[in-house]
Each structure stands twice: as C-alpha cells, then as structure tokens.
Amino acid sequence: MNAIVEQPQSNNLRARRMALDTHDQPVILTRRDCPVCRSEGFSAHARVRVQNGSRRIIATLYQIDADWLAPGEAGLSESAWHRLQIAEGDEVHLSHPQPLNSLSLVRGRIWGRRFTRQALNDIMTDVAAGRYADIHIAMLLTVMATGGLDEGEVIALTDAMIRAGDTLNWGREPIADKHCVGGLPGNRTTPLVVAIIAACGLWMPKTSSRAITSPAGTADTMETLAPVDLDTNAMRRVVEREGGCIVWGGAVRLSPVDDMLIRVARVMDLDAEAQLVASVLSKKIAAGSSHLVLDLPVGPTAKIRERTEAEELGLRLKSVAEHFGLATRVLITDGRAPVGRGIGPALEARDIISVLGRHADAPTDLRERALVLSAELLELTGAARPGEGRAQAEQTLDSGAAASKFEAICVAQGGLRQPPVARRRYLILAKRRGRVLSIDNRRLGRVAKLAGAPGAPAAGVELHCTLGDSIEREQPLYTIHAETTGELNYAREFAFSNGDIIDIAEPD
C-alpha cells in the first residue's frame, strides 16, 4: 500500500524586495496559490525557513489572494532582505523550520524546573538564530521575570548570552567600564565618565544600549552627538587612538541576544532582574572589561525604590560579575528626581556639552555624579590611590582635558554633531506657589515618550526646577519638546491630567 513518496518539487521562489518596514521581525509574503505553499502545506502566519545560499532565517509567513504579488514571487520585508543578504530576483528556498525543541525548556521553567547551563545555551542559540517568534521571546522574558532565576541560572544565562555573540579582547588591563541601572531620566553620566577616564590615560571602550522603556538610552543620546553604529573594527580603531568610545552595543554583536530581548521587553514595558543582570554583565564581559563601577539610583519613582532592594541587586551583580573575573564596585545613589535638565536624547546631549564646556549654567547634579563615578573608577583600577580619585577627576574635567578628549572621541567615531532642536514646544507652568516636594521620574519620562522620545531624538522634556526649589504661581516647570503636533498634543494632554508630576507643597 505504501505509495512511492514523491520528492518535493523545487521549493524556490523569486525574491522581491517589498520595501516593507516590519521592524526587526522578518516577514515573507507569498501568494496562497503558489505551488510551494500548496505542496508544503504552509498556512498563513506559519513560521517558515527561508534560505539564500548559506544564509537562512525563520520568517513569519503572510499569504495573499491578490495580484500585487506574482505566484512565483516571495515578497520580503526589509529585515528579512538584509539578513538574507539577497539581491532582487535571487531565488529563496522555503521549508518547514526544525521543531523548536528549546521551547520545551522554557515551558519546563514555568512548571518549576530550573534552567540548566545546557538549557540556557540551547535557548540563547535559538534566539540568536532568530528561531524564536516574538511570542516565544515574550514567554521567555516573563518566565525569567516571574519568581526570578537563582544565581546559578543567572551565571549560566550571562554565559549563554556571551557565547551567542562575539567577544572583544583588548590585550591589556585595566579596561574600565561603568553602568547605571536605569530608571532615572536624564542621568547621562557615561559620556562624561568616558571622557574623564580616557583623558586620564585609561582605556574605556564603552558599549551602550538604546532605551528599553525610558525616553533615552546612552546610545540614543550619544547618537545625537556622533555616529554610534560602529562595528568591531571601527570601535577598535577609535579606542586605540583615543582610549575610549561610546558606541551602540548592538552594532558590534556583543551579546546580540540582549537586543532581541530588549525589543520585546520594550513592548511589554518589562524589566526583570535576571535579564537585567545578564544583560548588563554579558555586554561588559563580552566587551572585555576588567573593572566596572555600577550606579544604582534609589528613589520612590526610580527603577529601584528601596535601598535594601538596591543592596540586594548590587550584591547579585557583584557576585555574578566577579564569577567572571570582573572587578566590580557598586554605588547606591540618590534617585529621587531626574538628573540634569534634559530628558530625551538631544536634550540630554545638551546637558553633557554644557558640563564638559564648564558653562556657568551647567547642571551641577550631573557634573557631581560624573565626578563621583569617575573617582571610583580611577581608584578601582588603581589609577588613583584611595581617596585621591576625586581630585584627579575634578582636575581632568576643570582643565578642559575631558572636553578635548570627548571631542576627539566623537571625531574618531565619525564626526561631532550638533544635537537636533525640536520644531514644537509647550511650556508647563506651576498652578500655585510653593516648594517642589517631589518629581515623578516615571510620569515625567512618560511625557517625554509621548512627545516622541527616543524615536524622535529632539523630543522630550526640559526641566526648569529641581527638588526643594521655591516656585511662584505661573513659573515655568518644564517645557515639552516634540517634532509633530500630534505628539505634542498627546504629551500635553498627559501633562494636564497629571498636574502633580511635579508636586508643589503649599507655602507655610
């Protein structure tokens, strides 16, 4: 009774570039009546393997019952097009993806089984290869957030994330690094610290992230001042010349899984400890860092709300970091209010420039934090003796050495830029006089995001007051910056219905 099993016919289709931006999700469009789909039994929204020579991706398949695509054509989204490195008219081969076995390990964690080292390696390998759909990544992130991973799992996760990407080896020590566990709008110390440390003669090849849920990440801010999409070789050239750089981590393929997780975490608006620890440290370790200072701001509306929580997270970070031989110092800092004046990429960039330029109106809190972190890093690496880091950092900043170094780094990264200025603004005024009691980091960040940050780099919030200030009625509290009327309106409406973002106590 066994029929001779026919060999499937050539599963090839002609690639057509649809100029379709689906963000990072690779999409392939085919006619429902195309012979390949019929013979393979692909149904719409299935995941299919698409191959071009030795390059292959897993893409989401959408099917069409219309003539804007020919039966022999495969329409590819931009993300699919670039990953396959294809040319118009090339053929792509379609097939069913292998079963996603590592997903059962994620499900197993839901039912309470711990992740083994091998499990996390398998999962991260599949994520890195693009085999996980967004739904699967969302499941993985939620699993990692719920109940948390134990230290062994976090170490294994960090290791798996490092292995799924490239690593850098600078052939020397120390390699200085810093990181701030986000949640504090405007706290853009990294470019300042890199400038100071590199000006002191240490190497600080910094890779930074884009925003996860905040209005700006360091990479977003830095991008308004200089190119940040440098590959490994370009980054190495900058560091060898200037001793420092501030580039986007994703472009150098250090822990590339991290960026894939971050993209989905952003939609979920979720930050989880295990992912946070592995995300921070995998990037640092893959980047070849030997000495790390961590800034953990604490405040009622910061990411970390309680000092005890910061202490625990700090211990976890330090412990995992030192497992990998990364010397680490943790600073718990004041996170009650935004730092500097700007919130949003370009507005934060302006603060940086004014601190480096020692302008009279430069934000003192941002300057202070940069000095504290630089001092710790100088002492941790042994570049300064205990107690002498502060003076060295201050001298480097005040002499203009840090400013010159920053400019040189920007030039080496591809040229110093002028941060853009938003086309539309709206000023939010105090509704009564009194003293500034509190500033809600989260809701102020939301205003900046509604105004378009970080997608629109010039958008965001410019603060005109800080904690403890005495305010008159109708005095400016902050300015909303936006590129479009629609976004300005959304931010404005949110600001109006949240009049207590800046909480002003009645005068006695």
Question: Is the CB of 486 or the CB of 507 nearer to its own copies?
Answer: 486
Q: Given candidates 13, 15, 18, 366, which one binds its own copies under the rule CB under 8 A?
A: 18
Buried b (16+ CB within 10 A) or exposed e, 287-318: bbbbbbbbbbbbbebbbbeeeeebeebbebbb
Q: How far is the CB of 387 from its own copies (least distance, A)?
A: 40
Question: Is the CB of 267 or the CB of 391 nearer to its own copies?
Answer: 267
With beta carbons less than 8 A apart as the criterion, state whether 350 and 171 touch: no
Q: How far is the CB of 5 from its own copies (least distance, A)?
A: 6
**391 binding its own copies? (CB under 8 A):** no
Angle subtended at Cα 457 by Cα 453 and Cα 462, rounded to the nearest 5 degrees: 65
Where do we find the tokens 């019929």?
Answer: 38
Q: Which runs of consecutive H residues, i.e. helices, occur in 50-209?
A: 78-84, 103-110, 117-128, 134-145, 151-163, 190-199
Choose one: 251-259, 331-339, 356-364, 488-496; the region binding its own copies (CB under 8 A): 488-496
DSSP per-residue codes, 132-159: S-HHHHHHHHHHHHSS---HHHHHHHHH
Largest CA distance in the chain: 95
Spatial CA neighbour of 177 closest among 320, 327, 32: 327
Q: Which of residues 54-113 bind its own copies (CB under 8 A)?
A: 62-66, 68, 77, 96, 103-104, 107, 110
Q: Which of residues 207-226 bind its own copies (CB under 8 A)?
A: none
**3 binding its own copies? (CB under 8 A):** yes
Q: Which of residues 450-479 bind its own copies (CB under 8 A)?
A: 452, 455-456, 479
With beta carbons less than 8 A apart as the criterion, state whether 476 and 428 touch: yes
Residues in the chain: 508
The answer to whether 365 is a known catalytic residue is no
- Binders of its own copies: how many residues, by CB under 8 A? 73
**307 binding its own copies? (CB under 8 A):** no
Q: Given candidates 145, 261, 353, 465, which one binds its own copies under the rule CB under 8 A?
A: 145
Q: How far is the CB of 188 from its own copies (least distance, A)?
A: 22
Return the HEC string of 420-481.
CCCCEEEEEECCCCEEEEEECHHHHHHHHHHCCCCCCCCCEEEECCCCCCEECCCCEEEEEE
Measured in degrees and rounded to the nearest 5, phi and psi for residue 24 equal -85, 0
Q: Which of 177, 271, 351, 440 is catalytic?
A: 271
Choose one: 16-24, 192-200, 251-259, 293-301; the region binding its own copies (CB under 8 A): 16-24
Q: Given candidates 56, 136, 284, 303, which one binds its own copies under the rule CB under 8 A?
A: 136
Provide CB contacts within 8 A for 436, sequence distance 6+.
465, 466, 467, 468, 469, 471, 502, 503, 504
Q: Which of residues 245-304 bind its own copies (CB under 8 A)?
A: 264, 267-270, 272
Q: How far is the CB of 393 from its own copies (least distance, A)?
A: 37
Q: How far is the CB of 39 from its own copies (least distance, A)?
A: 5
Pair of tokens at residue 349: 């960039």
Q: Given candidates 359, 385, 425, 473, which one binds its own copies under the rule CB under 8 A?
A: 425
Q: How far is the CB of 266 from its own copies (least distance, A)?
A: 10
Where do we find the tokens 């996390």?
Answer: 120
Q: Given candidates 488, 495, 501, 502, which one binds its own copies under the rule CB under 8 A?
A: 488
**497 binding its own copies? (CB under 8 A):** no
Separation between Cα atoms, residue 67 and residue 43, nearest integer Å? 19
3-state SS assignment for residue 126:
helix
Question: Is the CB of 36 or the CB of 287 nearer to its own copies?
Answer: 36
Q: How far is the CB of 261 from its own copies (least distance, A)?
A: 12
**1 binding its own copies? (CB under 8 A):** yes
Q: Report the catalytic residues.
A: 271
